[in-house]
Chains A and B, each alone.
Chain A
């Protein structure tokens, strides 16, 4: 646990001093959101489906940027080796980086999600807490796999394009579940309709997390 808190503290402190990662992610996601909202316009036939899909596209793109940068910082300063020398199970390093990345992505989502309602002319959802919960589950699934793959990709010269190439296909089930659940909640459908997608999201998150914890040690070892 000590290693987990130490790395999380360091990532937050580094970001607080520079405000590099969150600002770049937020600006990029805003650009994506605005571009799509202008391109698609307001779709009276399927407003919630379109808004949910565009919102998750913006989250995914911004998240990929953040993941690449977060692990690249460790590699640029050659500090991943110093982290790996800590006398603790290496799973804690993976978990700390994952939670740090999740935290930064959730901060960006605090901007993107309300803006989606505005740009797509949607009412505030009946269950805003559940929308937040879907964002948490979807983002967790995204960063749990993304942190592992970013760790792999940053070790290569092809890191800029390798991460999305590996990450997006694996993320398809999480993204479909997140988009469907968000669309249903935005359409004010009863929670029973959403529960299947929530269960799927939770299941994917757990499976991805378990697999990534097991794989991390092998990924970082030379």
Chain B
């Protein structure tokens, strides 16, 4: 198994069933290293399941998925070494302070020069003033910023973002969007799942529509316009509903 692949994220005919209910029905997707793909789709399209499979939290029923060349089923530890995952749920401990949360996850992920890294992220995400406050007492937007700091702690080369803008106010959303743009410039690979076409379009190189567990449409952002993509997206959803 190698990590020298030019594709940071790669799936082939990926399927997942929960009992008899199919969540993914043969997803084939390639995300080249250093690019950003925005994935759009209505509720129940399978976006979160796809993120779950790619992050080794959900076992696929069939097909293959690789992160940085490592198979998600056979080589989970190496996959997780390359990943940062941000969900719309915070995944932080309400009963620990902001600093203790980050210190814990830094230990867990084996981050070197822990305190310096934590301080830098707290400053960058405008959380330094709240570092000794319990995470449970923070506003939704601040908790989401803490979640972002948690995911960025190990400086992962691949980021999986599942509705990361949910709950963020304009200030927090701008800080996060700027941070994502700078991560892109540094060559990180990003798979961004979102409902908001404008936000995704602004960051992405490619846009993908997932419908009922299948890739229904793909386009290069440079070769298309957000308005025309939005029209195609709406038409695809209307077609599905019929």
Contact = CB atoms under 8 A, between A and B. Distances in A.
B91 A3 contact: no
A193 interface: no
B130 interface: no
Contact of A87 (B57, B77, B95, B96): B77
B69 to A, nearest CB: 15
Contacts of A3: 108
Given A13-B100, A85-B80, A222-B58, A77 B93 contact: yes
Contacts of B150: 82
Given A77-B90, A84-B57, A13 B96 contact: yes
A172 interface: no
A79 interface: yes
Contact of B80 (A2, A18, A86): A86
B194 interface: no
A86 B108 contact: yes
Contacts of A86: 80, 108-109
Contacts of B109: 86-87
7 contacts: A6-B104, A13-B100, A18-B95, A77-B91, A78-B90, A85-B57, A89-B77
Interface of A: 2-3, 5-7, 9-10, 13-14, 17-18, 73, 76-79, 81-89, 221-222
Interface of B: 52, 55-59, 77-78, 80-81, 83, 85, 87, 89-96, 100, 104-105, 107-110, 150, 154
